[in-house]
Structure 1
Amino acid sequence: MILNYKNANIFYTDQGKGTAIILIHGFLENASMWDKITPELIKRNRVITLDLLGHGQSDCLGYIHSMELFSETINFVLKNLKIRKYILVGHSLGGYISLSISKINSNNIKGLCLLNSTSYKDSEERKKIRIRANKLVQNNFENMVNMSVSNLFYQKNSAKFKEEISKVKTEALKTSLQGYIAAQEGMKNRPDSTFFLKNSTFKKLLIIGEKDPVLNYQNSIKEAKETNSDFVVLPCGHMTHIENKDELITILKDFVKKC
């Protein structure tokens, strides 16, 4: 389904009945990343997925997609669907956006799950990587996207999930060049949300990949403890929804019950 926000089309899906769960995908992904997760969750819940600005079937809205701008578009969809109380599950970039939404609508949040994500802001090193990527991608978009996707998996899982990785790359290439650059700019400039997460009273869960090439799992465990969040460590890379799909479904079902 499509909604128009400030002349930008926003794609979303709305399935099931019960507790509302908002699934927010990560950078270079789209709503299809949840295709093998949603069927299990909609048995007892209402599940909403979206394509973020510049990803999948959603348009861009400017040249910097800040976490606040991403949040505005999602809030627009939720208001149109008349959803007030909900649980947020955000993968990577989706986690940053989930935190932004929670700051605005803290009374509406029943629970927040950061999936391979963090409340920390970018390090200076990470900011430099994003700046460099935005320069390189303008001349070599397809190669940059393919390389980025490959680097998200635990290296030893590459052969095992060869077919799935190919599909992820296909979906990633549906991200527009403008969407790529705008999201990187937004992530680079996002604020630190650790203090907010620590003082939030809704249910909080961090799902951590022990072999995550993007987020150091020991730092993520430290973060969970610092923010009074529950956490689970799985033997996977950054793509838990593929590398540990069945375990993730079980964990999410249990988290929803606790919320």
Structure 2
Amino acid sequence: MKISYRDTEIYFSSEGTGNPLILLHGFMESSKIWNDFVPSLAVNRQVVCIDLPGHGESGCFNEIHSMEDMAKAVKEVLWNLNIEKAAVAGHSMGGYVSLELSKIFPTLLRSLTLINSTPEADSEERKINRDRAVSLVNKNKSAFVKMAISNLMLPDSSKKHNSEVQNLVSEALKMSGKAITAATKGMKIRSDNFELFAKMEIPKNIIAGKQDPILDLDGLKLLANKGKSNLHVLEGGHLSFIEDKQVLRKLLHLID
């Protein structure tokens, strides 16, 4: 299904009824990453998966897609579905969007789950890397996509899950360079939302990968402790929806 939004369209799917769970994908991914999760989850509740702006089948409406822009697009979908309160789980960039959703619409979230994500802003080094990414996309989008996705898991894991990784690459290559850079720029300028995260008086979960090459596990442990959040450590890297699919499915079933 699609809704009109800011002179473009936002794609989403909705399965099941009651007690809504919103699943948000990460950078250069799409709602397809949840395909293996939705059937079992939707047996007992409504599961909504959304293609964030510029990703999947959703259009690109700006030169920069801030996390706030993306959160407002998500809210528009929820408004269309008459959802006033929901559990929200976001992978990586989807986690950033979830936090903005909570900031802008503080009564919306029933619970929050960050999957391979963090409430903190980019470090200065990371911001420099974002600028380099934009430059590379403008020069050679294909090279950037393949490199960026390969860097999300360790070589052994990448080899083990080669078919699924290649599917991710194929989907990401369908994105326009404008959409990729819009999201990259948006992540670079996102706010530090740790204080917001810590003060949330709702159930909070951080799902982390023991071998995540992007996020520091020790740092996430400290954040979870200071933020009074449940921490679940999985065996794989940054792509838990591929590397630890069975365990992640069980954890998502526990979200209220």
TM range, smaller chain:
over 0.9
Q: Are residues 1:183 and 2:183 paired?
A: yes
Q: What is aligned with 1:126?
A: 126
Give the distance between the partners of 1:160 and 1:125, measured in 2 at CA.
Answer: 30
Q: Are residues 1:20 and 2:20 paired?
A: yes
Runs of 4+ in 1 over 3 A off after TM superposition: none
Q: Which runs of 5+ in 1 are unaligned?
A: none
Alpha-carbon distance, 1:120 to partner = 0.4
| TM-score when normalising by structure 2 | 0.98
Give the distance between the partners of 1:241 and 1:158, measured in 2 at CA.
Answer: 13
The 10-residue stretch of structure 1 (1-10 or 117-126) with the greater mean CA deviation from structure 2: 1-10
Alpha-carbon distance, 1:59 to partner = 0.7
The 10-residue stretch of structure 1 (172-181 or 128-137) with the greater mean CA deviation from structure 2: 172-181
Give the distance between the partners of 2:94 and 2:226, measured in 1 at CA.
Answer: 21
Spell out the pairing of 1:95-134 with structure 2 (5 A cutoff).
Answer: 95-134=95-134
Q: What is aligned with 1:241?
A: 241
Give the distance between the partners of 1:175 and 1:53, measured in 2 at CA.
Answer: 11
Give the distance between the partners of 1:69 and 1:193, measured in 2 at CA.
Answer: 16
| TM-score when normalising by structure 1 | 0.97
Spell out the pairing of 1:56-75 with structure 2 (5 A cutoff).
Answer: 56-75=56-75
Spell out the pairing of 1:128-207 with structure 2 (5 A cutoff).
Answer: 128-207=128-207
Q: Are residues 1:35 and 2:57 paired?
A: no
Give the distance between the partners of 2:249 and 2:193, measured in 1 at CA.
Answer: 26
Alpha-carbon distance, 1:105 to partner = 1.8
Number of equivalences: 256
Alpha-carbon distance, 1:129 to partner = 0.3
The code of the aligned residue for 1:185 comes to: K
What is the RMSD computed on CA atoms of the aligned residues?
Answer: 0.8
Alpha-carbon distance, 1:108 to partner = 2.0
Q: Which secondary structure does the structure 2 equivalent of 1:170 belong to? A: helix
Alpha-carbon distance, 1:43 to partner = 1.1
Alpha-carbon distance, 1:21 to partner = 0.5
Kept in 2, the 8 Å contact 1:154–1:238? The answer is: no
Q: Are residues 1:92 and 2:92 paired?
A: yes
Give the distance between the partners of 2:126 and 2:98, measured in 1 at CA.
Answer: 20
Give the distance between the partners of 1:72 and 1:85, measured in 2 at CA.
Answer: 15
Alpha-carbon distance, 1:173 to partner = 1.2
Q: Which secondary structure does the structure 2 equivalent of 1:29 belong to? A: coil
